[in-house]
Chain A
């Protein structure tokens, strides 16, 4: 039984580091956020394994849940804002071309 738990812990450590690495290096922001949420849930599992159940609950609820929702909302806002900027600058270019 002990071997199984050791295996689980080792796997958890490796997956945690892999997910963190993927999240940090991902160029797609949406993917990065989803990986960040997955990282938060895995981190909650780690806290649980360390017998810190209070921290595990806070990590799952705030770290993964609400921070994830906040990041996704911020991403949606960022994308609408940058698309508005883009159409604005396109319009300016159009006007210039018309003026010429």
Chain B
């Protein structure tokens, strides 16, 4: 009897939850459908000002120029995430892998150069078509993860101070450009019009490398520690 009662209560709470959640979903849907059209038409605003940004792809213009502050903070978030993983335990530099596979060896040897080239292409094309630093960085990170998984040791030749320097490079560059523009133009991250495209390209290139390395090291942090325990 008691068991039946408990089951009944469980079923009741579940039904109540379903009703409440459906009400919430309906309310949210109603609110979204009745939202007034925004007073400031952002799409038009961007389209009108894209010529002053130094790039012709509106997405890159927003990310690296109009709202560069947000991208700056994203870089800081990535860096803090990396530091969070390292604060648990510094990532060992020597990878430990027991995967010995000729297919993986050959395929990674063929794919990694292509991935690096593709990452550079995404970075370059970002100025006028879909692409950009985050996409290019994640492709670079994927190439590094593939190297790690196939037992190669990319962090053996590239460690210590170099590694740390590359990790903080984009945040440091963003900070210095922010300070510089604050001094020169009087506004944070407001680039001088003539140099905007160069600044964006340099920022994106450094950000690509930092993002790729951070993502690969995040993976390596978990992967390497797990192998060490065995």
Count contacts on B: residues with CB < 8 A to the other chain. 21
B138 touches A58 (CB 8 A): yes
Per a CB cutoff under 8 Å, which of B130, B139, B218 touches A54? B130
Q: Is A53 an interface residue (CB 8 A)?
A: yes
Q: Closest CB of chain A to B117's CB: distance in Å?
A: 15
Q: Is B54 an interface residue (CB 8 A)?
A: no
> Which of the 9-residue segments B29-37, B104-112, B183-191, B220-228 touches chain A?
B220-228
Per a CB cutoff under 8 Å, which of A53, A56, A66, A73 touches B141? A66
A54 touches B222 (CB 8 A): no
Interface residues as binary, A42-80 with B (CB distance below 8 Å gives 1, 0 otherwise)? 000000000001101110011001100110011011001
A80 touches B219 (CB 8 A): no
Interface residues as binary, B141-153 with A (CB distance below 8 Å gives 1, 0 otherwise)? 1100100000000
**B165-221 interface with A by 8 A CB criterion:** 215, 218-219
A66 to B144, CA, bound (A): 11
Interface residues as binary, B89-122 with A (CB distance below 8 Å gives 1, 0 otherwise)? 0000000000000000000000000000000001
CB within 8 Å for A54 and B142 given contacts A62-B134, A70-B218: no
Per a CB cutoff under 8 Å, which of A66, A74, A77 touches B145? A66
Q: Closest CB of chain B to A53's CB: distance in Å?
A: 4
Q: Is B123 an interface residue (CB 8 A)?
A: no
A66 to B170, CA, bound (A): 20
B222 touches A73 (CB 8 A): yes
CB within 8 Å for A73 and B223 given contacts A57-B135, A58-B135: yes
A3 to B226, CA, bound (A): 50
A69 touches B219 (CB 8 A): yes
A84 to B225, CA, bound (A): 14
CB within 8 Å for A73 and B219 given contacts A54-B135, A80-B229, A84-B229: yes
Q: Closest CB of chain A to B57's CB: distance in Å?
A: 8
B131 touches A81 (CB 8 A): no
Per a CB cutoff under 8 Å, which of B59, B130, B215, B226 touches A66? B215
B138 touches A66 (CB 8 A): yes
B222 touches A74 (CB 8 A): yes
B interface residues (Cβ-Cβ under 8 A, vs A): 59, 122, 130-132, 134-135, 138-139, 141-142, 145, 215, 218-219, 222-223, 225-226, 229-230
Offer 16 A-B interface pairs, CB within 8 angstroms, sorted by A.
A54-B131, A57-B122, A57-B131, A61-B139, A66-B138, A66-B142, A66-B219, A69-B219, A70-B218, A70-B222, A73-B222, A74-B222, A76-B223, A77-B222, A77-B223, A77-B226
